[in-house]
Amino acid sequence: MIAQLSPEARSAGVITYSSGNHGLAVALVAEVFHAPAVIVMPERTPQVKIDGVRRHGAQVVFAGSTSTDRKLCAEELAKARGLTIVPPFDHPWIIAGQGTTGLEILEQHSQVRSIYVPVGGGGQIAGVSAAVKRMRPSVRIVGVEPAGAARMTASLAAGRPVTLDSTASIADGLLTLRPGDITFAHVRAFVDDLVTVTDEEIAGAVKWLYREGKIVAEPSGAAAVAAALRTLEPDTVAVVSGGNVDPDAFAGYIR
């Protein structure tokens, strides 16, 4: 998305609201384009995520504890400073970028039957499901939410995006209270199933990835693996979407 902005918009700067990985990505790409970047993060963001964003030269602003708090703060700052908002999930360009993961899966594993994808606001599963279903409709797409933050499951049951009163999970990157309008439409059109996983299953998946694959995954990034481990079906891909984990917390998970 940042690559598609005009030079003038990039030089003015970009802003996003994110609990971690999207903010880190925006900071990194803004650094590549020499664009000022502001990342609005929750007040209780793990220090490892704050440090990662600052390493790439972005300014960190803290706002509340919910995605709504961060979004409102980002909108106010964008208006005041003339910044372009790079949303974490509910934007066609962001969804298209996330869809390249689906294309890579089809290129690298042509026999894939099922793809498990973690679900927060829904950008990643919207992109992956659209890309895969347009090319290989037979592939089963499964969205995975923490049991304490099943906002997409609730939204599908209601037939519209709904806002949860609260969320709770060790998967701090998947705690969005409400899915996006665009991402909800994609999930309803392209996703075959939604499942939830417990914090115990997520922690177990973090440990399994480390032991079996030597992969360092944060809980949010391991959620899809937690669901896939229930069946261990052949020709299954689980998207591991982040390793932005506090070292002390990670040590606890793998013990």
If asked whether residues 55 and 170 sit together in one domain, one would say no
The conformational region for residue 232 under phi > 0 = left, psi -120 to 50 = alpha, else beta, is left
Instruction: Going residue by residue through the chain, which has 255 residues, state the pLDDT in tens, using 9 for 90 and above.
Output: 999 999 999 999 999 998 778 999 999 999 999 999 999 998 888 888 899 999 999 999 999 888 788 999 999 999 999 999 999 999 999 999 999 999 999 999 999 999 999 999 999 999 999 999 999 999 999 999 999 999 999 999 999 999 999 999 999 889 889 999 999 999 999 999 999 999 999 999 999 999 999 999 999 999 999 999 999 999 999 999 999 888 999 999 999
- 119 shares a domain with 239: yes
DSSP state for residue 196 in the 8-state scheme = E
Q: Are residues 118 and 21 in the same domain?
A: no
* Range of the structural domain that residue 119 is part of: 92-254
Phi/psi-derived region of residue 6, left when phi > 0, alpha when psi is between -120 and 50, beta in every other case: beta
Query: Do residue 119 and residue 239 come from a single domain?
Result: yes
What are the φ and ψ backbone dihedral angles of 193, each rounded to 5 degrees? -155, 150
Tokens of 144: 């995975």
Q: Which CATH number characterizes residue 13's domain?
A: 3.40.50.1100
In terms of domains, do 80 and 125 share one? no
Shared domain check, 161 and 80: no
Q: Using the 3D structure, point to which of 85, 108, 142 is the last residue of a domain.
A: 85
**Residue 41 shares a structural domain with residue 109:** no
102 and 60 in a common domain: no
Task: Tell me: do 250 and 135 sit in the same domain.
Answer: yes
Q: Are the beta carbons of 127 and 98 closer than 8 angstroms?
A: yes
Amino acid at 144: V
Quick one: pLDDT at residue 228? 98
The pLDDT of residue 67? 79
Residue ending a domain, choose from 64, 85, 106: 85
Domain total in the chain: 2
**Under 8 Å between Cβ of 14 and 93:** no
Q: What is the pLDDT of residue 32?
A: 97
> 132 and 35, same structural domain?
no
Give yes or no: residues 62 and 148 share one domain: no
Q: Answer with the one of 63, 85, 107 that is the final residue of a domain.
A: 85
**109 and 58, same structural domain?**
no
